[in-house]
Amino acid sequence: MPTGPLRVGVLASGSGTNLQALIDHVHGAEATVVGVATDRAAAPALDRAQDAGIETEVFALAEHPNRSARDIAIADWMVRRDAQLIVLAGYMALLTSAFLSRFEGAVINVHPSLLPAFPGIRAIEQALDYGVKLIGVTVHFVEDDGGVDTGPVILQRAIEVVDGEGPEEVHERLRPIEHALLPEAVRLIARGAVSRDPGNARRVLISS
């Protein structure tokens, strides 16, 4: 079993701003990012990782027989790096049981809504179309339960919706919250402050 700082593997598909937040705020301190995997060869997240001296690998779906085979390959790659926690930082592919079963209770995601409201894609657009007055960010566990964004909530923070704002404007205001909450969740997990309520598996307890 690895000792020392929490060993974190990151999956990212896009620009990697949440990965950068992890690099800036927990990498080399409470945690060590041991590898960044992506499903997109052109993902700028790869450049961010390489600039920080972090190993990277591309797992394009076209290079594998199916999603499960690709997920097994990613899981194998993370296991070889002794990853203890997997962080989805803007990873746009759904993970199958082939991956989640290998990291049970050790996969977290950041999502731009106040879950359980507005899971899945276009969460901000869903929320604005619904006419909500509050919107926010959730960091949650990813469960092998067949659902999307259904895992127990670790952290949440909300902001008020401003009349007339569009999805991009809202997302710009949510990004700093994502960049704060995701490293904080990793920090809490690294120090053993996150646990499940024995009386309610859906509830996450945070100890001081």
Instruction: Report the predicted TM-score, pTM, of the whole model to 2 decimal places.
Output: 0.95
Residue-wise pLDDT for 150-181, tens only, equals 999 999 999 999 999 999 999 999 999 999 99
Kindly report the CATH class assigned to 6-194: alpha beta
Strands 85-88 and 6-11: parallel
**Distance in angstroms (rounded) separating the CA atoms of residues 80 and 183:** 23
**Distance in angstroms (rounded) separating the CA atoms of residues 22 and 16:** 10
- Where exactly are the structural domains of the chain? 6-194
From first to last of its 208 residues, the chain has per-residue pLDDT tens of 456 899 999 999 999 999 999 999 999 999 999 999 999 999 999 999 999 999 999 999 999 999 999 999 999 999 999 999 999 999 999 999 999 999 999 999 999 999 999 999 999 999 999 999 999 999 999 999 988 999 999 999 999 999 999 999 999 999 999 999 999 999 999 999 999 999 998 999 999 7
**Distance in angstroms (rounded) separating the CA atoms of residues 206 and 145:** 23
Residue found under tokens 């199916």: 66
The tokens of 27 are what?
A: 């990498």
Catalytic residues: 111
18, burial (CB in 10 Å: exposed 0-12, middle 13-18, buried 19+) = buried
Contacts of 146 (CB under 8 A, 6+ apart): none
